[in-house]
A and B are shown apart, each in its own frame.
Chain A
Amino acid sequence: MAVAAASAALLGVACSAGASQGADKPSPSATHRQTVPRLAACPVPAQAFLRPADVPRLARFLDYRHVDQLPIHTQPLHPLWFVKKYSCGRYYGFIARAALRGRFRAENNASARSAGYPIQKWPYVPLTGAIVTALPHNVFEVYEAAYRFTSVAAARAYANVLRHNFRDYALPAGALPAGFSAGTALLGSNRRTSERQIGVVGQLANVAVTVWLQGGEQLSWPDVAGYWASTWRRLRPLRT
């Protein structure tokens, strides 16, 4: 029932104080107390994202410069209210060079063949198997996205939807800027051979930001902190 109540809040209203049901604007009293943020325009600038030179151990394998569809399953004739407020986004993905060759790639290829999948340039992800146990503290995949909405409330609502899909992950104070939080997930059913994920979700005015940091069996914040620092260094100028 608690889940249902939380879902109702997300479905009908922005999940924040001062927002009225279905409205884009905060209530007048909330507006008086808050500075109205400057809304980002489309497109989200490319320089706000990680470059290959920032992460030399990784290869960029996803380059979605125009994310046309917010990555959320919804009915096209009855979309969630904030989906209608989505306007543009970018999404980049990086994968560890160690996963592209040798025994780790051979195992990935064998798993793919067993499902009838063609062997292509990039491995099938999320990664599984020996790489997860052999390199327990390594980062294997990094995905970074920014989604621009026409209102702050819509960006907040989407960010809150994402947060609800993670388990909470407590970080040291000051590890993340205001408006950002971390969650964790296991990307598969096998606790030993499925990637661990630390997901950072946040909001910069009307832009929802996601950073998925995935890796070995014992992945924890110290393992990913450097990647987050590089990511934030580029994202920070979006903050108003």
Chain B
Amino acid sequence: MRWRVLVVMTGLVLVTGTVSLVPPATAALAARSTAAVPASCGGGSHRWYTWAHSGSGTLQGTAAEARTWKHWNVAGHSGGFSDEAVWVINTHNANNALEVGFVTGQGATVFSNKMYMYYTTNNGVHEHDTFTELPKNKVIWMSAVSNGHQSSAFVYKKFLAKNIHYGVGSPRLTYEQAEVNFHNIPMAGGGSGSALALEFKTARGKWFDWGYIKGGRQKPYKIQFFQPNGVIEGGNGSHC
């Protein structure tokens, strides 16, 4: 199988509040191609991923306007969890990373069949679950921000962490990832009628768009999505 670079359509979701919609014209922020890797369904026969990344540099954060799931499922016999999250990652050390998002299913230290907010540091070593349920089918804002010394995690209406003593070193990569264990959970804002808008935060604290699902391609950025058997970026996965 081959990786496929997928052009996504731009259906711009306006971010309420402080976001400028004009992407900056800096070469350091141009999208990069993902490395070619053998395509598979990820971690076993019941797991599907999508991910996307923009550029890296002195940027301080990744954010998304995403729609929470309209439906989800934790039944079945294969366990696991499903989540959607934004990350900011140290490109010199992938284990130095902040992840912020929402999840259902098996957590590191808990099980929940709600959609709840969480964040992790160190590529998942430390997991902080809130157990506060998110409303269904609602557009929310989630962000992972770090200046290299302190970090903040925000989902929906609250900070899960604010200026905590953990830093993601630069150069930092903007990254978004969704993973599901059940094929009827739409990923990455997915399914027709939904959208995902991705943003990055500059070193000066301004937010800019870098990617979209559904709609026209926004140059010079494009979202590249891993597409194993039948997974449709932004849509429903299917069995391998």
Contact = CB atoms under 8 A, between A and B. Distances in A.
Interface string A107-126: 00001000111100010111
Contacts of B109: 162, 165-166, 185, 197, 199, 210, 212
Interface residues of B, number: 60
Interface in B62-95: 71, 74, 76-81, 83, 85, 87, 89, 94-95
A69 B127 contact: no
Interface stretch (B18-26, B131-139, B208-216, B217-225): B131-139
A69 B80 contact: yes
Interface string B107-131: 1111111100010111111110011
B89 to A, nearest CB: 7
A68 B43 contact: yes
A197 B87 contact: no
Interface in A55-89: 62-80, 89
A236 interface: no
Interface in A113-144: 115-118, 122, 124-126, 141, 143
Contacts of B135: 115-116
Contacts of A141: 111
A189 B46 CA distance: 33
Interface residues of A, number: 52
A71 to B, nearest CB: 4
Contacts, number: 155
Contacts of B138: 116
A187 interface: yes
A162 B110 CA distance: 11
A210 B113 CA distance: 19
A163 B162 CA distance: 24
Pick the most buried of B110, B121, B135: most chain A CB atoms within 10 A of its CB.
Answer: B110
Contacts of A115: 114, 133-136
Nearest to A114: B135
Contact of B94 (A78, A111, A122): A78
Contacts of B114: 115, 117, 124-125
Contact of A7 (B126, B130, B181): B126
Given A76-B51, A91-B79, A197-B110, A165 B133 contact: no
A161 B127 CA distance: 9
Which are the 4 A-B pairs with shortest beta-carbon distances?
A68-B44, A64-B79, A78-B94, A116-B136
30 contacts: A62-B111, A64-B106, A68-B78, A68-B79, A68-B80, A69-B44, A69-B80, A73-B99, A73-B123, A73-B124, A74-B124, A75-B87, A75-B94, A75-B123, A75-B175, A76-B177, A77-B35, A78-B95, A91-B106, A115-B134, A116-B137, A117-B114, A124-B133, A125-B113, A162-B108, A165-B108, A187-B131, A188-B130, A189-B131, A189-B132
